[in-house]
Amino acid sequence: MTTTRKIEVTTEQIEFYNENGYILFEKLLDDEMLARLQEETDRIVSEAAGLSEHNNQYDLEDSHTPENPRVRRLKAPHQHWPFFWELAQYQPILDVVEALIGPNIRLQGDKLNMKSAEFGAAVEWHQDWPFYPHTNDDLLAAGVLLDDCYEENGPLLVVPGSHKAPIYNHHEDGYFSGAVDPENFDWDMGKDLAALEGPAGSVSFHHVRIMHGSALNTSDRQRRLLLNQYAAADAWPIMGLGKMSFEDYNSKIVRGEPVSQPRQTAVPPYLPLPPAPLQGSIYENQKALKNKFFDTYKKN
């Protein structure tokens, strides 16, 4: 890692995050790192040509064809492409994460959502917590903007303060749907929103319980967002380690030390079970939702 830049996070910034559940740091990535991220992403996306279906690296738009490739997401990029593991350990991002969730930090997961110009898919309202409940909620997602991102190209939208609200129902017809029926909201989604906008290289941080989503991108500019999910090392995943060994699990520590005992706090339980009928990504999971907010969304 080349940068030794240390980010000093102020008390006001920490209080803003604790109060609102999100914060954005403009241009947190240095120019060299941003250029490498953009080049590596372009290279990886170009390799999706010829694919006819989703696999463990690529999630494809419904309109994808092998001749006209349309990638919706790179799945768990740090597992497949070393650059993303390097970026997950980028010190300026970890300086902010440490200020928000403490010194011992594990990469819980990652994904790169493409939201291409003209057709990039919406993500319906959800909280991340029901996807990966832990013994405490010191988890957040760092969202790295690969492109300038403003109202027209589908910024991540959040409901400020909703990380303090209950966990909403993310099931439909008895199965996990990974989304909330807009009928159930307590907020005016025309007004009570913040858009995480900024120039390329900016990084947002959102709490694992904040309500968030994003609209279809109908503009002529793409909006690519790398989401690195970080957990306090003492937050233990309720759903277990999956296929990971304990050693693999601890190898995801990106700063500080692994912790041998979990910390349990009074967090609301939620299980993403029985699993969504369509698996593979949040886009597939959310197809079960009948009442989709972003089908008719227009910014006021």
Q: Which of 78, 66, 74 is nearest to 280 (CA)?
A: 74
**225 contacts ligand AKG (rule: CB under 6 A):** yes
**162 contacts ligand AKG (rule: CB under 6 A):** no
Which residue number, 89 or 222, has a Cβ lying nearer to ligand AKG? Answer: 222
Kindly indicate which of the ranges 14-22, 107-115, 231-239, 291-299 contains the residues binding ligand AKG, using the contact rule CB under 6 A.
107-115
Tokens 């403003």 -> residue = 150
Tokens 């159930």 -> residue = 184
Q: Does residue 80 contact residue 112 with C-beta atoms inside 8 Å?
A: no
Which residue number, 115 or 171, has a Cβ lying nearer to ligand AKG? Answer: 115
How many CB atoms lie under 10 A from the CB of residue 299?
A: 10
**208 contacts ligand AKG (rule: CB under 6 A):** no
Query: If 0-12 CB within 10 Å is exposed, 13-18 middle and 19+ buried, where does residue 273 land?
Result: exposed
Tell me, by CB under 6 A, how many residues bind ligand AKG. Answer: 10
Among 162, 214, 285, 286, binds ligand AKG (CB under 6 A): 214
Beta strands in 117-275 (DSSP E): 123-126, 139-145, 156-158, 171-172, 175-176, 194-196, 203-207, 212-214, 225-232, 253-255
Which residue number, 156 or 203, has a Cβ lying nearer to ligand AKG? Answer: 156
Which residue number, 29 or 234, has a Cβ lying nearer to ligand AKG? Answer: 29
84: part of which helix (H) or strand (E)?
A: helix 82-88
Kindly indicate which of the ranges 21-29, 109-117, 165-173, 240-248 contains the residues binding ligand AKG, using the contact rule CB under 6 A.
109-117
Which residue number, 97 or 234, has a Cβ lying nearer to ligand AKG? Answer: 97
x/- contact string, 121-160, with ligand AKG (CB under 6 A)? --x--------------------------------x----
Q: Does residue 225 contact residue 99 with C-beta atoms inside 8 Å?
A: no
Beta strands in 146-246 (DSSP E): 156-158, 171-172, 175-176, 194-196, 203-207, 212-214, 225-232
**Radius of gyration (C-alpha) of the chain in whole angstroms:** 18
**54 contacts ligand AKG (rule: CB under 6 A):** no
Among 212, 272, 285, 293, binds ligand AKG (CB under 6 A): 212
**204 contacts ligand AKG (rule: CB under 6 A):** no
Residues pairing with 123 in the sheet: 214
Q: Least CB distance from residue 6 to ligand AKG, whole Å?
A: 29
**282 contacts ligand AKG (rule: CB under 6 A):** yes
Q: Least CB distance from residue 39 to ligand AKG, whole Å?
A: 21
x/- contact string, 28-47, with ligand AKG (CB under 6 A)? --------------------
Query: If 0-12 CB within 10 Å is exposed, 13-18 middle and 19+ buried, where does residue 196 land?
Result: buried
In the complex, which residues of this chain contact ligand AKG (CB under 6 A)?
111, 113, 115, 123, 156, 212, 214, 225, 227, 282
